[in-house]
Amino acid sequence: MLRKVDRMMSYWRNRNHGWFQVGQIWNLSFVAVFVLSLQCGAAKADQIPVTYANNFSIEIYDTHKLLTVRNPWRGAETLSFEYALVPKDSPIPDLPVGVQIVRTPVDRMSVLATVYVGHVQALDLYDQLVGMSHLNYTSDQRALRQVENGYTKEIQTGTSLNIESLLMLKSDVIFTSAMGNPQFDAHPQLQRARQPVVVTADYMEEHPLGRSEWIKFTAAFFDKEDEAAEIFDRISSEYNRLTNLVKRAESRPTVVANAPFGGVWHVPGGRSYTAQAIADAGGDYVFSDDRSVGGVPKDFESVYFRAGSANFWLHPGPSRSLASLIELDERFNRFNAFEEGRVFNNTLRVNANGGNDVWERGTLHPEEVLADLIAILHPKLLPKHKFVYYERID
């Protein structure tokens, strides 16, 4: 694109034996804009509205859709990935270097995280689902049946990615997320194998509805944007109805979250979607003043100093009983929430292998998670609520 403009500038310099007069510069500017428009296929025609998500955008051109993923992992605020979705029956337009092309609508999809299975269910993409990873952590029964009958193949167990099996699937797109660690990230290996890998960044969103809105990103690969918009509008409408309900609450109980693992207590950052959900449910998160988006490592003493008197304790690791929790560390009985029996975990929909539906359906439906949290923190506001993901730890 720039080379064409350079050649045009050279032509005008040679013709006029030097730099341009003002009128000639205006003429060249007009021509250059025209060339740039042709180079991109057409001027930007539209942009899909994105209300809560900060880490992706979708621009609509006559020849393609341009999807941009930003802030894919912690410390990568300036990094972005661009994907041009080009209809299969259309020629590939001239695009800037580094833009990855995906032909659409996608017929064959592989996913490297269970979070995408929620989108598969909502958009009815089971026929396109040909590869899955981490089956032990998958809750979706239809997807698991497809694996059993051989339609969908298992492509990863643990950290071992079966590249040969993945190559045989001939996927049109492979969805994954990343942490910025080459030891664990799959996308560099897939890129070297010339596989159509797409890196997403929903887990880096600050608002639960931001994570949910990524269904619009997935839908763009299958030409299901309208369907995704309708789904998200229903979700966000109910979420906001519930946040308005919380305004009736007379108090805001204090909340601590998570539990130590390997001696380190990774508490949700004050700008994380977990912190936002607690606030929207009418809770006062004890680390709300922290400015981090992801988990923040703490030692036991620093957490106890802030949260020893907290009214509620959420997400205490894998524990589903107070007895199993105290086995991890006897000092937990010093927490007020433990003594008062106000410990709740989002483990109600965990399967025999440890797969938790809160990371499939729950990430897409934060309104259901929010309703559970409101029923925990302010039970009088939802007296007839039936828990979907949370249970009290006894």
Tokens of 230: 């309708």
More confident residue, 1 or 315: 315
Question: What is the helix (H) or strand (E) element at residue 138, kind and residue range?
Answer: none
CATH code of 248-392, in short, is 3.40.50.1980
351 — pLDDT class (breaks 50, 70, 90): confident
Confirm whether 46-210 and 248-392 share one CATH topology: yes
pTM for this prediction = 0.86
Question: What is the helix (H) or strand (E) element at residue 104, kind and residue range?
Answer: strand 100-104
Q: Distance between CA atoms of 92 and 80, rounded to whole angstroms?
A: 22
Tokens of 334: 């010093």
pLDDT at residue 259 tops 50 = yes
Topology of domain 46-210, CATH: Rossmann fold (3.40.50)
Q: So where are the chain's domains?
A: 2-39, 46-210, 248-392
DSSP 184-229: T-SHHHHHHTT--EEEE-GGG-SSHHHHHTTHHHHHHTTT-HHHHH
**Over the stretch 15-69, which tens digit does the pLDDT of each residue have?**
333 333 334 333 434 444 444 444 444 455 699 999 999 999 999 999 999 999 9
**Over the stretch 68-82, which tens digit does the pLDDT of each residue have?**
999 999 889 999 999
